[in-house]
Amino acid sequence: MDPRRLRAISRAAVAVSAAVTLALTLAPGGWIDSPPAIPDGAAHAVVFAVFGASLALAYATSGTARRSPRRALVMVLLAIWLVAASTELLQERIPGRQPGFADWAANVTGGVLGFLLAGPVLRAVLRRRGG
* Mean pLDDT, range 45-73, rounded to an integer: 90
What does the CA dihedral 86, 121, 11, 112 come to, rounded to 10 degrees? 10
Residues contacting residue 42 through CB under 8 Å, at least 6 positions apart? 34, 106
| pLDDT of 117 strictly over 90 | yes
pTM score: 0.87
Report which of residues 7 and 113 the model is more confident about.
113
Per DSSP, 91 falls in state: G
pLDDT tens for each residue of 17-31 = 999 999 988 988 766
Report which of residues 65 and 117 the model is more confident about.
117
pLDDT class for 3, splitting at 50, 70, 90?
confident
Give the pLDDT score at 29: 74
> SS3 sequence, 7-48?
HHHHHHHHHHHHHHHHHHHHCCCCCCCCCCCCCHHHHHHHHH
Report which of residues 64 and 94 the model is more confident about.
94
Residues contacting residue 127 through CB under 8 Å, at least 6 positions apart? none
CA distance 38 to 61: 33
Residues contacting residue 88 through CB under 8 Å, at least 6 positions apart? 99, 100, 103, 104, 107
pLDDT class for 34, splitting at 50, 70, 90?
low
CA distance 24 to 34: 10
Give the C-alpha distances (Å, rounded to integers) separating 112 from 1, 2, 35, 55, 96. Answer: 27, 28, 23, 10, 27
